[in-house]
Structure 1
Amino acid sequence: MAGALPESIVIAITLNTGEYYVCRNVRNGLVQGGSKDLSGPEVKIQVERAEVDNDHVHLRFIHSNRYWQQRSASDSDIVAVLKEPDENKEKATCTLFKPRVESDVLFLNHAQTGRGVAFDHSRGFLSLNRSSVADPLRFVDAETLVKLPKHVAFKAVYNDCFLKAEYYRDHTVSFISGFPIDYRYFRFNSSDPDEVASGYEVVPMEDGHVMIKSDYYDKFWLQTNSWIEGANSDVATASNKSALFWPVKISDNVIVLKSAANHMFCKGLSLDNKNDCLNAHDPNMSKYTKLEVHELVTKRSIRNVRYRMEDARVHGEEAVVVDTVSFDNPTDHEVTVTDSVEYKTENSYSFTQGLSITSGVKVSMEAELPFIAKAGIEVHHEITGSFNWGHTKMESVTHTGSGSVPVPPKSKVIVDCVVTKGTCNIPYSYTQEDHSSTTGEIHRSDHVDGIYEGVSYYNFNFQVAETHSI
C-alpha cells in the first residue's frame, strides 16, 4: 500500500565503488545513482499519494520539482522532467507508480505499463524492466535525517549545563609508571556556551553520520570503553566507527547522539570518579541523553538570494470568492455591465533551508518576494528585516479587480467576484554571513538548499451566481 511509505525518502543504490543516492541528472533528466551525499538537497524525494486510488504514488524530487516518469512509449528510461503529476494511466508518461514496501526496501512498478523499476548497472540509471519484476531499492525516511549547524554547544536537558572539555587526571596508573595520566574527557558542568571549552565543530559525513571536534582540545570525539574523549587525528578518522555519531532529532533544537561503534546513546554519566561526563552506554533515549543544540552565532544575515525560476512549481490552485455584488437592468434589452471592485487578500510566504535544527539565532534577510500573478510568477517587492526559518509570514494586500457581465432585460444578477488562490515553490541559493559568538569572527558561506513558498491571489473575474426578474 502507498501509505506504508514515509512522506519523503532518499533512495540508495549500492555500486562497486560504494553507496550512491538517487538524484536527477540536470542535463538530461535521467534518474541516476549519482550522489554520495545523503543529506544533499538534490536527493530528497517527496512521496505524493495519488488522487485516483490508494495504491499509487507520485515521486517528485523536492529541489527540482520534477516528477518521475517513463520517458516515452519507446524509451523505458526513468526521467524526472514533468512539473505536474499525470494520473492518466493510458499515457506512457504517466507519473504514477505502485509501491511495495518490505521493511526499508522499496519495489516500484510503473502504473501504465506494469513493468518493474530496475537499476541499470551498466549505465548507472533507473529504467523499466521488460517484466513486472522490480529491483529492491533501499530507502531512508528523509525526515529522520538530521543536518546540524557547523559551530555548536551542547546543553544537557537533565542538569541544564553545557558540555565542556575538561581533563580528568587518573592517579591510579601512577603506582605503575610513577606519573598520573590526563584524559581528555567532556563534562556537563558549564554555564557558558561561549567559552572555548564549550564549543564544538560538527563535520558531516556523506552517509549522515557526524564527527565532532572540540574547539578546546582541537581533537575529534572518540568512543573508548564507552567514554567519549578527544583523540588524535590518526585514530579519530572517518573510517573509524568509534569516531562517528548518528544524530536523532527529538524536537526543534533537541537531539540525541548514537555511537556508531556500539549503537548506544551518549549521556552524562557519573562513574569511576567521573561526574556528569559524556558516555555512550544508554540503550534508550532517556532524559540523560537529550541535548539542546545551541548555535554559536550572535546574528546571521542572508543575502544574494537567487531563485531558480526554471524549477519553480505552481500547485494547489483553487477558486475563492472574495466578494459578491449585484447589477440591475430595468431596460427591455440585454446590457453588459463593467465594474471595478476593491478587495483584500492575505498573501503569505516562507523560506526554508537544509538545517534540521531551530536554534534561536537572529536572522535578517534581504530578498525579493515572488508571487503568482496573472501572467505567471512575478517579483512583487523586496523585504529587508528579521525572520525565522520555516515560519510563515502574512501580508495584507488590497486589490482592484474589474470585469464585465451580461445582464438580461428586466433582471437582477447576483455576481460572485472570484479569484484564483495558488501556491508557488521555488528553489533558491544564497550567501550566509554568521557572526561568531565565541571569537567575533565573520564566516561567509554559499548554499543551494533553500526552498521558498509563496501563496497569492490572482485572475479576478465575475461569475453569475443568480438571476432574478425585476
Structure 2
Amino acid sequence: MFPLTDSPKCVAFRSKRTGNYLRSVAFRSQEGKFFADQSSAGDGDNDVLASPYARFYLEPSKEHEGLIHVRCCYNNKYWVAKHDGDGSGCGHWIIGIVNEPDDDLSKPSCTLFQPVPLTDKDSNLSIRFLPPQHQTPSSESDMEKETPQEACYLLLGTGADQEKPVHEFTVLDLSQQLVLPKYVAFKGDNDKYLSARVIQRYNYLEFAATDIADPTVLNIIHPNYADGNIRVKSNHFDRFWRRSPNWIWADSPDTHSRNRDTLFRVVQLSGYIGLQNLGNYNFCKRLTADRKKNCLNAAVSSITEEAKIRVEEAVLSREIYNVEFNLSEAKIYGEKALSIPNVHSVNRTSEPNKKTLTLKYEETESKTWSSTVSMKIGVMAKFRAGIPIIANGKIEVSTEFSAEYEWGASIVKTTTQEVNYEAVVPPMTKVTLRAAVTQGSVDVPFSYTQRDVLVTGEVVTTRMDDGMFSGINNYNFNYETTEESIV
C-alpha cells in the first residue's frame, strides 16, 4: 500500500526512465495531454521543484481505501483518466484534468487512481498509476512486459516522446518541507535576533540584536528541494553556516552541499521552528559556554526551549504588482443554489393593485491572494490586483483591489441586498415572488512581481508564478412570479 495520511500529501514525480520530473503543461491542440517531462540536470532540480508546476497533491479517497485523487498544485485541478483510443480496445490511457474530484468508479469522470508500489534492488519506492477500473498486474515482472496490460497505464511524455510509455516514478515527499522565504532573520527565545559577530577571531552567530533593521541579522536561505535540506548564508560574512565542532560558524565558502556540517533540516512547530544540523543530527540552540554568550550551537537532540527559533522576513517593505491571471487555468467549483425567502402580495379588492415587492437576502463575498509554494511571513505588502469573479457562468476580472494587504489573508464581506419588483396584482389574487441565486467558488492561478527592500537597503525584484486567487461570490440571480386565485 502506498503510504498516505488522511490529509493531502505534497509530492513530486521523477521518471525512473529519464530521471526527469513531471510538470503540468497545457497542450491546447491535444486534449488530455497535460503533463511533460522536464529536465532536472545538475542544479536544475531546485528550479523545477520550486515551481508549482512540478508539485502535486495525493488525496486519499474517502470512499475507496487504497485509491487516491491527484491534484495539481498550480491550478488545484484533478487528474482524470481518459482513453486515447478508437473504441476497439486499443490505445492508451492518458491524463486529463477536471475541476472537482469524483469518487464514483462507474463514471468516466471518476478521478481516482490506484498507485501500484514498486521496490527496486536499492529499496527505493516507486509507483505506477493505474485507473481503478482495471486490475493490477500480478507481479512486477508482468508490468515490465510489452503486453495488452500496457494499455491500462497512463501515457505521459511530450513531442516525439509522446507515444512512448513512461510508467514508473520515484515519489519525492515534499509535504514535510517548510519552504522558508529567501531573506530571513532568526529570533531566539530571549527575544533577540541572531546576528553575525566576530568572537575570538571566529565568525559566530549570537542572539544579540534588538532591531531587524540591523544589517548583521540578514541570512539567505539556499534550499535543496530534492532532499528537503537547506543551507544558510550569512549576508554580513558572505559565508555559509558550518558546524565546528558544535558551534555554528558562518565561515564556509563552499558552493556545494556535500559537507553535512553545512546542511540543516527545518522542523516546523506552532509559531516557531527547530534547526537540525545534519553533521551531528542535533538541534541548534542558544548556548552560553566557553566564554561565548547566547551563541548558536548544535547541542541538543530535541527541541528544548532554547532551541525554539522564530523566523521573520528580513524585509523593510514589500510591493506586489503586475498581477497576471491565467484565466484559461481557472476553475469554478462548489456551486450551490441559495434560497431566498418568498414574498407575497394579496389583493382582496375588485380592482387591480400595483404593489412593490421587496426581496431581501444576505450576500457574502470572499477573496484571498496567496502562494502555492513560497512563504511570506508577517510582511504587509502594498498590493495591486484585479478581483476575479464568476459572472454569467464564466470568470471575469472586475475592479482593481489596491491596499496594504497581508498575504494569504481572507477578506470577507457580507452585505444585505434588496431587489424591488413592481407587480400588478389582479383582483382576488395572491402573487408570490420567488427568487434564487447561485453561490460558487473560484480558483485562479496568477503570476506577479514582488519588489522587496531588504534590511540592508538592497532592492530585490522577483517575478513569481505561484500565485493563487481563491474567491466566493453570488451570481445568476433569477426570479419568477406566480398567481393564485383566493376566491
Q: TM-score, normalised on structure 2?
A: 0.78
Which secondary structure state, in structure 1, belongs to the residue aligned with residue 49 of structure 2? coil
Change (3 A) 1:435 1:468: farther
Distance 1:298 1:221, change over 3 A: same
Post-superposition Cα deviations, 1:376-403, rounded to whole Å, max 9, x if no partner, equal 1122211111111111102345656689
* Residue aligning to 1:229: 249
More strand as a share of residues: 1
Deviation (angstroms), 1:293: 1.3
Does structure 2 retain, via aligned residues, the 8 Å contact 1:331–1:409?
A: yes
Q: Which residue of 2 aligns with 1:46?
A: 57
- Matching residue of 2:184: 152
Cα distance in 2 between the residues matched to 1:71 and 1:369: 33
Which whole-Å deviations, capped at 9, do the CAs of 1:91-145 have from their partners, x for residues lacking one? Answer: 556321245889987675422223476898996999697xxxxx67534252x22
How do residues 371-390 of structure 1 correspond to structure 2 at under 5 angstroms? Answer: 371-390=389-408
Counterpart in the other structure of 1:242? 261
Distance 1:8 1:124, change over 3 A: farther
Mapped to 1, the partners of 2:356 and 2:397 lie a distance apart of 29
> Does 2:128 correspond to 1:95?
no
1:370 match: 388
Contact residue 12 and residue 33 of structure 1 kept, 8 A: no
Gaps of 5+ in 1: 130-134, 170-181
Give runs of aligned pairs for residues 417-428 of structure 1, distance below 5 A.
Answer: 417-428=435-446
Contact 2:178 2:267 in 1 (8 A): yes
Deviation at 1:55, TM superposition (A): 5.5
The 1:428–1:357 alpha-carbon spacing in structure 2 relative to 1, beyond 3 Å, is closer
Q: Name whichever of 396-405 and 368-377 sits farther off.
A: 396-405
Amino acid in structure 2 at the alignment position of 1:4:
T
Q: Trace 1:48-197 onto structure 2 (pairs within 5 A).
A: 48=59, 50=61, 53=64, 56-72=67-83, 74=85, 75-91=91-107, 94-98=110-114, 108-115=129-136, 137-140=170-173, 142=175, 144-157=176-189, 159-169=190-200, 182-197=201-216
Question: d(CA) in 1 for partners of 2:402 and 2:181?
Answer: 24
**TM superposition shift of 1:151:** 1.7
Q: Could you list the per-position Cα deviations for residues 54-84 of structure 1 after superposition, in whole angstroms to 9, with x for gaps in the alignment? A: 6543212021343222231634344243334
Q: Distance in 1 between matches of 2:162 and 2:241?
A: 37
Instruction: Return the letter of the residue paired with 1:111.
Output: P
Verify the 8 A CA contact 1:78 1:127 in the aligned structure 2.
no
1:90 deviates by 3.7
Alignment CA distance shift 1:72-1:101 (3 Å):
closer
After superposition, residues 249-288 of structure 1 pair within 5 angstroms as 249-251=268-270, 254-288=272-306
CA shift for structure 1 position 366: 0.9
Distance in 2 (CA, whole Å) between partners of 1:374 and 1:361 is 36
Between 1:25-34 and 1:304-313, the stretch displaced more is 25-34
Q: What are the within-5 Å matches in structure 2 for residues 204-215 of structure 1?
A: 204-207=223-226, 208-215=228-235
1:443 equivalent in alignment to 2:439 = no
Structure 1 residues 368 and 118: alpha-carbon distance in aligned structure 2, compared to 1, 3 A threshold: closer
Following TM superposition, by how much is the alpha carbon of 1:428 offset from its aligned partner in structure 2, in angstroms?
A: 0.3
Distance 1:3 1:183, change over 3 A: closer
Q: Against the structure 1 CA distance between its residues 327 and 72, is the aligned structure 2 distance closer, same or farther, given a 3 Å change threshold? A: farther
CA contact (8 A) 2:218 2:455 kept: no
Q: In structure 1, what residue type is equivalent to 2:213? A: D
TM-score in terms of structure 1 length: 0.80
Which residue in the other structure is 2:140 paired with?
none
Secondary structure, counterpart of 2:216 in structure 1: helix
Aligned with 1:4: secondary structure? coil
1:317 offset after TM fit, Å? Answer: 0.8
2:74 aligns to what SS in structure 1? coil
* Offset, 1:372: 0.6
CA distance in 1: counterparts of 2:216 and 2:195, whole angstroms: 5
1:201, distance to aligned residue in structure 2 (A):
1.4
Paired position in structure 2 for 1:26: 26
- In 2, Cα distance between the equivalents of 1:293 and 1:192? 14
Equivalent-residue separation in structure 1 for 2:455 and 2:484 (angstroms): 68
Q: Percent identity?
A: 28
Distance in 1, matches of 2:486 and 2:164, equals 64
Q: How many residues were matched structurally?
A: 443
